[in-house]
Amino acid sequence: MSSAIRRRTLKMRSANSSDNARTETLVAREKIRCLKALLMELQRELESLTQVKTPSVEQGLDFYTEVSRFESEMIRRALKCADGHQGTAAQLLNLNTTTLNAMIKRYCIQLGPLIHEDKSESER
């Protein structure tokens, strides 16, 4: 191979590696941008979870029904966090296990669908 051809081949390889480096840099920047956007969305979702939704009292409401709804939702969330384990959920809620079990029965909370529902959501 002549020296002119070798020089031309080296220049082409150098240009290709430079183009590859630019492309990789652009791809990395796009990934970082997407991750930042995802992080912001997750942050908003986390903040919305901590906000307590209170019903409007202007039209009137049944206090005991709302308290029951709140308790039931808290129990469901604790059971999801504990993967359905009542002892762990009771600890999360600072309740005795027997008290939690009685409340699960009172509110007719189904344990099976909570666990399967949560796992199928995480698989998506």
Output the pLDDT for position 18: 73
Q: What is the pLDDT of residue 100?
A: 97
How many of the other CB atoms lie within 10 Å of CB of 84? 15
C-alpha dihedral sign at 76, 82, 83, 84: negative
**Block mean pLDDT (10 aa), the chain, length 124:** 68 70 87 89 77 80 92 92 94 97 94 55 47
Model pLDDT, residue 16: 72
What's the pLDDT score for residue 3?
74
How far apart CA 74 and CA 56 sit, in angstroms, is: 20
Residues 6+ apart with CB under 8 A from 55: 61, 66
Tokens representing residue 93 in the block: 């809620």
